Amino acid sequence: MKSTFQRFHSSLFRLLWTYPLALSSLVFLLLSSIFSLYFWSVYKREVDSDLENTTKELRHIWTAISKAHEDMVLHYYRTFTEDEKTLSYLRMALSKDERSLALARAGLYRHLWKSYEEMSDRFYIKHLTFVLPDNLVFLRFHAPELYGDDVALLRPDIALVNEKKEPTSSFLVGDVTSGYCYVFPIFDGERHHLGTVSFCKSTESIKGVLMELFPDKDFYLLVMEEVVRKRVLEEYRWLYRPIKGLKGWLIEKPEGELYSLLEHEGVLKELIKKRLPSLMESKKDFTHQLILNKKYYRLTFLRPSEKYGQSHAVTLLILSPAPELALAYSRFLNSLFTSLSFNFVISGILYLYFKKVHTIREQQEKLETITSVMGGGLFVLDRHGVAVYVNQTACHMLGYSSEELLGKVVHDIIHVHRGDIHECPIFKATAEGRGLDYDDSFIRKDGSLLDVHIRVRPIFVNHKFSGSVVLFYDISERKKKEEELYKLAITDPLTGLYNRRFMLDQLMRVKLMAERYSIPFSVLFIDLDNFKKINDIYGHEMGDRVLKATANVIKSCLRRTDIPSRWGGEEFLVLLENTGLQEAVDVAERIRKEIETEPVEGFLKITISIGVAQYSKGEDVDSLIDRADKALYRAKATGKNRVST
């Protein structure tokens, strides 16, 4: 048996040697299959990574914007609950006397109507509802004629807040439109529970912010038809339209490219019908690649995340053009064509020089090593770090010609780690004959920095180390996007100052430093005097300009190490590191005088009051802020436009 196999094996190789064209053709097919699978897997990974990153990015942005809106709603809630007139109407409503209820309802409606109009017009808060402790509706501002109904079944979130007396938020399809509902308990000064207040902010407002950030994307909300019939008032159902071929679902405020495609593209409707059930079950966001009319798109499915709501009945669809995916597919085809051409050449060499197998094998090993990492800027180094090959992409990215790089130690020219070459990560990997993957920066010819992801792979010839291949990708856009998202998360969108959350983090950080090293620090609590009159006389647009101008003056009076923030409304909080009380008072006086002497837009004079407090060892952050707030109150009480400690 063994001898028969050996004779067959020997006969096969003699046949191949006799017909080198057959052998070269076999090698061509084998290599083509390998390279095709490889480039396809690279393409799939690139597409999957792009879709996954798109999903994460949109989810993070949606969450950040929702949180910012929640903070805005919290501001209105605090304004209402600190208003004694509002509380008096709610106390009157607890009497259950029909006449008292009617008077209280009418009084509260008149008292808060302007605030509701402002919330509705500026922030898309379409629902403002007050509910008594027994879950009976006291007043709907969007439908004041509807009251007295029990909302425990339709709005379990309100019932929960009345029971637990703790705030909650949820995503709901309301009787007018869909959106996030924020429910808060209401207490008077003696902590008597007076009921709840519900703010419902439309999805449209969040979509508006998203469309400003991403004007090339379309945002839509799909809602189950059954939920719309049960929840939405009949006069507002025109906002939801059916989609041909997509039974049971309606689209809210249909317009734009996605709605047009839904009307005419069966492939898109089939995809949505197929993926919606799995989305409802998995509760996971995802993004699909679509090719419609020879155009590439990303279609992202997002589910609002909440505790008590109807996220099972709604889906946010985001359609965006995806030229990057088209380019990825083009690169795949180009790589495939290049590999086929390369394979053809290799097969020809095998056909013509079959007897020189050993030489061809060495060349093939080196070529396969290089081609396995192609895709960005690439250069090949010898064992001493000298460039022996540089591709045109690398030259273009760095601004050098190949002649300026070849034959030179690349570390000395482009690497940000200038100095001892033996400390260079790339040179160390090259010298040790090992691979390396990490993020770093290169220096372009014009002196600018290029953020890159670097991959270093060793080259072995006949099992001996002979150099390294270095491949790098431009990650500047990724870095920029990360910085933009971080800035969005820590700054106030109106004034450009840091927001309240960031300031609290910095106060905790500085407090720990002060405790450990006995370094003093102080805070300034700043409030605009008579700001409500400015809004009433000149309008909220001028009020916004006043806030911006105030923020600019505050920044101009501070050191680079000082941290200014918008604390809320017309209040600002400034953190002065390594600053005692008297020095902080001097800074506060400088700010106050600058504000007083610089009219907004040349005609509107404004003043501020400032409370100053220095941190005392062992004190918590809340206590420090409270002392500064009390100092501010004294400044207000003693005539305003002054600094108090």
Contact 232, 175 (CB under 8 A): yes
Which residue has 């409030």 as its token pair?
A: 527
**Cα–Cα distance measured from residue 178 to residue 169, given in angstroms and rounded to the nearest whole number:** 13
Residue 324 is a catalytic residue? no
Bridge partners for 576 per DSSP: 522
Structure tokens given for 96: 């259950």
Output DSSP code: residue 572.
E
User: Please, where are the H alpha helices in 265-409?
Assistant: 266-282, 323-352, 357-371, 392-398, 402-405
Classified as helix, coil or strand, 218 is: strand
Which one is catalytic: 166, 484, 515, 570? Answer: 570
For the beta carbon of residue 462, count every other beta carbon within 10 angstroms. 9
Burial state string for 188-225 with b = 16 or more CB within 10 A and e = fewer than 16: eeeeeebbbbbbbbbbbbbbebbeeeeeebbbbbbbbe
- Residue type for 333, please? L
**Cα–Cα distance measured from residue 202 to residue 124, given in angstroms and rounded to the nearest whole number:** 6
The dihedrals phi and psi of 610, each to the nearest 5 degrees, come to -135, 130
Least Cα distance to 51 among 324, 274, 257 occurs for 324
Burial state string for 273-291 with b = 16 or more CB within 10 A and e = fewer than 16: eebbeebeeeeebbbbbbe
Instruction: Compute the Cα dihedral for 205, 210, 214, 217 and give only its sign.
Output: negative
Q: Give the catalytic positions in this structure.
A: 570
